[in-house]
């Protein structure tokens, strides 16, 4: 087994928790009884790595097997690194009929046309997501399996989620995606986050949203909590109104976990007490960044507790409404403008 | 807190303390409390009774008005009460319309409610399949300056934008809602069929499906012929729950799909929900 394989395997084992590797091994490959036993023995990570390397040698595994293992582990645990969302625009007439085999063939063909050598692996997840693992090489070097790009796409939807893509390779991937999904343009959706599930749920609208309804269902009564009848809350009505507006702006129940929201301001400085700054003709450029472990949850509680005024300002409610967390705010537009951000690096 | 007010508070508190410890009238207090409680209960019961009486009287009056054939004589008799009569008629009509809207809601028609002080509306669309209510979808629409969908929870594989263009959204909202309803109901139906295939027929392997449920590829095991049959269903009409194309293929026995039995199944799959066809095929022993 050559050095690059050893390094790849070592890096793989280092990144993934041992338990996950064990379960994935059992799922993906057939181990002999003695190999199975050696894997199950409780041992420190470095010893486990050695065990795995031995198994690789014994079974004559190639890079293909190891990358398959890596991909399966990553698909089960995708919330690592930064995920960026892209949107496919202007579908052709047959975009809606693109099926899996067609997409796979076309994508491989187009990407291989643009860059060689390249290692592409495409797999369908149980939730209908198409996962693509790309190891990039160029004319001088073989595919780099240590830094693969992962792409997730649901056919018949306009969204593509990408992680670990350099700006150099971005146009190549975009071209291949546009051709294989039968669209004309792909653009930055201005949404990024550490959790694939959060970014996906926000764009695919797979979280519980709140709407004003005429006949509340019997289940809606869960909101009514039995409070002490001797205590009358003075502010109860306005509090429930704020809560309702906060839920309508951000959603009900569990919200997708975004971590940041960035506003790039290109507006004129406005402060009556500071004449020098206000008199400047050029816009005052600054960037406002909100950070949190669960941004939407914290914004919702800001609105319902009254810290943020209700009705919720479009600057904040645009995050779930438009499904983006990067905005450029200028003076001419009443709300956040749409502009693409700088290329990824 | 400055010293003077602090002592003021402290002395007040000690006065109150002295008062309570000095009280001898406590037993009398307690019986007074229970008396008052009983009175409160009696009064609330009386209030509830009176409220119920008003309601029944109102309903009776309204019902009699609605059943009544109004003749001139009656109107002249009740001449003085004509205003009250008119008011009661309007209340009756209001109740009737409310019941009608509720009935529309129960049968799965769409609900509409005003938002933003009349500047917008919010619609609720329900989906159902084979008599079972499934998901609901909401659309918030701004009315001014033109009709515009501002917020919704329709999944992205239902092409809202192109449906808007197709069915002249601005001028004819009802047509748009009908078409959207068709797409959503058909999607819910196909999704339900896929769910049944996976749950009720675990021996049938689902090889391919997608989020829109517009393509389904299954592998049947045919024990009598000792072969496998690949069945591809294409649902290209997204407003329908039945496939537009069915392809049956067998690698080992290429002539099998052309046999009269399997041609029968082909037409069955085109006209009947797939999970029901699988039940039939299983009962006939054709597939495992």
| Whether residue A274 has pLDDT greater than 60 | yes
- Residue A45 tokens read as 């990570």
- Helix (H) / strand (E) element for B113: namely strand B111-115
Does B78 score more than 60 pLDDT? no
Q: What is the pLDDT of residue B47?
A: 92
The model's confidence at residue A338, banded by pLDDT at 50, 70 and 90, is very low
pLDDT for res B213: 92
DSSP conformational letter for B244:
S
B235 phi, psi to nearest 5 deg: -105, 80
Residues from chain A that touch B113, judged by Cβ atoms under 8 A, are: 212-214
Instruction: Give the per-residue pLDDT at A344.
Output: 32
| Inter-chain touch B156–A205, beta carbons under 8 Å | yes
Residues of B with CB under 8 A from a CB of A: 101-102, 105, 111-113, 115, 122, 124, 138, 140, 150-157, 159, 208-212, 214-215, 236, 238
A93 neighbourhood in chain B, CB within 8 Å: none
pLDDT given for residue A130 in this prediction: 95
Alpha carbon distance A144, A134 (integer Å): 9
pLDDT of residue A339: 44
A187 compared with A140, residue with greater pLDDT? A187
pLDDT at B5: 59
Chain A: give the shortest CA distance to residue B103, in Å: 12
Total length of chain A: 345
Q: Is A212 on the interface with B (CB under 8 A)?
A: yes
Q: Which of A154, A211, A215 sits opposite B138 (nearest CB)?
A: A211
Residues A204 and A154 sit within 8 Å (Cβ to Cβ): yes
User: What was the pLDDT predicted at A106?
Assistant: 95
* Residues B257 and B248: beta-carbon distance below 8 Å: yes
pLDDT value of position A73: 86
SS3 label, residue A335: coil
What value does the mean pLDDT of chain B take?
A: 86
Is the pLDDT confidence value at B282 over 60? yes
Closest to A157 (Cβ–Cβ): which among B113, B122, B156? B156
**How many other CB atoms are found less than 10 A from the CB of residue B102?**
13
A91: closest CA of chain B, how far (Å): 11
- Structural contact between residues A162 and A150, judged by C-beta atoms closer than 8 angstroms: yes
pLDDT at A38 (0 to 100):
78
Tokens 């003749």: give the residue: B71
- Residue A304 has a pLDDT of 92
Is the pLDDT score of A69 beyond 80? yes
Please give the pLDDT value at position A247: 93
ipTM field? 0.83
Answer whether residue B262 shows pLDDT above 50: yes
Chain A with chain B: Cβ pairs closer than 8 A: 69
User: Comparing A8 with B272, which gets the higher pLDDT?
Assistant: B272
- The stretch A48-52 carries a mean pLDDT of 79
Work out the mean pLDDT of chain A and round it to a whole number: 85
| A100/B210 Cβ within 8 A | yes
Instruction: Work out the average pLDDT over A221-250.
Output: 79
With bands split at pLDDT 50, 70 and 90, how would you rate the model's confidence at A10? confident
Which residues have a Cβ under 8 Å from the Cβ of B85 and sit 6 or more positions away?
A: B65, B75, B78
Measured between CA atoms, how close is A207 to chain B, in angstroms?
Answer: 9
Quick one: pLDDT at residue B271?
94
As given in the structure block, the two tokens for residue B178 are: 């009908």
Q: What number is the average pLDDT over the span B177-201?
A: 94
Q: Please list every residue in chain A whose beta carbon sits closer than 8 Å to the beta carbon of residue B102.
A: 215
- Predicted local confidence at residue A8, as pLDDT: 75
Beta-carbon separation of B122 and A212 below 8 A: yes
> Is A22 a residue whose pLDDT tops 90?
no
Res A203: pLDDT? 94
Return the higher-pLDDT residue of A345 and B156.
B156
Identify the weakest region by mean pLDDT among A35-44, B42-51, B144-153. A35-44
* pLDDT for the residue A81: 87
- The answer to whether the beta carbons of residues B157 and A91 sit under 8 Å apart is no
CA distances from B19 to A128, B7, B26 (A): 76, 18, 12
* Residues of chain B contacting residue A212, judged by C-beta atoms under 8 Å apart: 113, 115, 122
**Burial A290-328, CB ≥16 within 10 A → b, else e:** beeebbbbbbbebbbeeebebebeeebbbbbbbbbbbbb
Cα(B159)–Cα(A28) distance, rounded to whole angstroms? 38
Instruction: Name the residue facing B113 among A154, A204, A214 (closest C-beta).
Output: A214
Q: Does A113 touch chain B (CB under 8 A)?
A: no
pLDDT score of A293: 94
Q: Has residue B48 got a pLDDT over 50?
A: yes
**Would you say the C-alpha torsion B63, B64, B65, B70 has a positive or negative sign?**
positive
Question: Which residue from A minimizes the CA distance to B124?
Answer: A213
With CB atoms and an 8 Å threshold, state whether B214 touches A154. no
Whose CA is closest to A318, among A304, A305, A334, A331? A334
pLDDT given at position A333:
57
- The nearest alpha carbon in chain B to A200 belongs to B156
Query: Rounded to the nearest 10 degrees, what angle do helices A63-76 and A18-28 cross at?
Result: 120
pLDDT category of residue B68 using cuts at 50, 70 and 90: low
Q: Is the pLDDT of residue A238 over 70?
A: yes
Query: Which 234-293 residues of chain A touch chain B by CB within 8 A?
Result: none
Can you give the pLDDT at residue A340? 40
**Residue A222, min C-alpha distance to chain B (Å):** 19
DSSP state of B156: T
Task: Quote the pLDDT of residue B118.
Answer: 84
pLDDT for the residue numbered A342: 36
Q: How confident is the model at residue B3 (pLDDT cuts 50, 70, 90)?
A: low
Rounded Cα–Cα distance for residues B277 and B257 (Å): 16
Strand partners, B217: B208, B232
Span A186-213, pLDDT tens digits: 999 999 999 999 999 999 999 999 998 8
Mean pLDDT of B7-17: 87
Contact yes or no for A205 and B154 at CB 8 A: yes
Q: Residue B88: helix, strand or coil by DSSP?
A: helix
Residue B288 has pLDDT above 90, yes or no: no
Confidence of residue B42 (pLDDT cuts 50, 70, 90): very high
Longest dimension (CA), chain A: 80
DSSP string, A217-230: -GGGGGG-----TT
Contacts of B259 (CB under 8 A, 6+ apart): none
Residues of A in contact with B159 (CB under 8 A): 96
**Which single residue is written with the structure tokens 């000095």?**
B22
Nearest CA in chain A to B209: A128
């Amino acid at each position: 087994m050559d050095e690059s394989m050893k390094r790849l395997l070592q890096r793989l084992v280092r990144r993934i928790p041992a338990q996950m590797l064990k379960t994935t091994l059992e799922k993906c490959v057939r181990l002999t009884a003695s190999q199975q036993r050696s894997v199950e023995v409780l041992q420190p990570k470095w010893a486990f790595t050695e065990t795995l390397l031995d198994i690789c040698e014994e079974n004559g595994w190639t890079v293909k097997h190891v990358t398959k293992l890596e991909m399966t582990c990553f698909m089960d645990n995708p919330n690592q690194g930064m995920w960026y969302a892209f949107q496919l625009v202007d579908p052709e007439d047959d975009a809606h009929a693109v099926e899996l085999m067609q997409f796979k063939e076309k994508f491989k063909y187009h990407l291989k046309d643009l860059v060689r050598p390249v290692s592409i692996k495409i797999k369908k997840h149980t939730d209908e997501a198409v996962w693509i693992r790309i190891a990039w090489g160029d004319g001088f070097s073989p595919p780099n399996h240590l830094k693969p790009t992962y792409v997730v796409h649901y056919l018949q939807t306009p969204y593509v989620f990408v992680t670990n893509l350099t700006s150099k390779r971005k146009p190549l991937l975009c071209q291949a995606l546009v051709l294989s999904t039968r669209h004309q343009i792909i653009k930055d959706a201005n949404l990024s986050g550490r959790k694939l599930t959060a970014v996906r749920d926000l764009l695919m609208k797979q979280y519980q949203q709140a709407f004003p309804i005429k006949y509340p269902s019997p289940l809606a009564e869960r909101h009514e909590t039995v409070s002490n009848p001797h205590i009358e809350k003075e502010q109860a009505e306005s509090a429930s109104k704020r809560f309702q507006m906060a839920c309508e702006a951000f959603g009900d129940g569990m919200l997708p976990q975004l971590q940041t929201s960035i506003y790039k301001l290109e507006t004129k400085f406005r402060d009556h007490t500071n004449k020098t700054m206000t008199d400047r003709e050029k816009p005052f450029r600054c960037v406002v960044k909100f950070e949190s472990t669960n941004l939407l949850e914290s914004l919702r509680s800001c609105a319902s507790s009254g810290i943020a005024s209700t009705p919720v300002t479009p600057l904040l409610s645009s995050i779930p409404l438009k499904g983006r967390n990067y905005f450029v705010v200028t003076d001419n537009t009443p709300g956040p403008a749409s502009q693409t951000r700088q290329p990824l690096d | 807190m400055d010293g003077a007010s602090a002592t003021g508070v402290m002395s007040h508190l000690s006065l109150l303390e002295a008062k309570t410890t000095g009280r001898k009238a406590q037993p009398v207090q307690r019986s007074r409390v229970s008396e008052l409680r009983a009175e409160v209960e009696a009064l609330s019961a009386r209030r509830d009774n009176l409220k119920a009486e008003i309601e029944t009287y109102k309903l009776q009056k309204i019902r009699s008005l609605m059943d009544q054939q109004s003749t001139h004589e009656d109107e002249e008799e009740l001449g003085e009460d004509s205003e009250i009569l008119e008011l009661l008629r309007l209340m009756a009509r209001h109740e009737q319309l409310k019941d009608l809207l509720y009935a529309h809601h129960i049968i799965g028609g769409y609900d509409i409610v005003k938002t933003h002080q009349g500047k917008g509306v919010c619609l609720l669309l329900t989906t159902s399949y084979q008599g079972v209510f499934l998901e609901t979808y909401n659309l918030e629409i701004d009315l001014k300056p033109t009709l515009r969908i501002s917020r919704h929870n329709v999944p992205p594989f239902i092409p809202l934008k192109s449906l808007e263009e197709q069915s002249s959204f601005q001028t004819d909202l009802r047509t748009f809602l009908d078409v959207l309803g068709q797409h959503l109901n058909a999607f819910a139906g196909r999704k339900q069929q896929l769910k049944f295939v996976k749950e009720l027929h675990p021996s049938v392997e689902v090889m391919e499906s997608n989020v829109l449920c517009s393509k389904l590829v299954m592998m049947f095991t045919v024990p009598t012929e000792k072969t496998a049959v690949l069945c591809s269903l294409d649902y290209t009409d997204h407003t329908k729950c039945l496939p537009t194309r069915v392809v049956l293929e067998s690698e080992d026995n290429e002539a099998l799909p052309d046999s009269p039995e399997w041609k029968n199944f082909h037409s069955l799959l085109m006209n009947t929900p797939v999970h029901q066809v699988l039940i039939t095929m299983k009962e006939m022993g054709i597939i495992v």
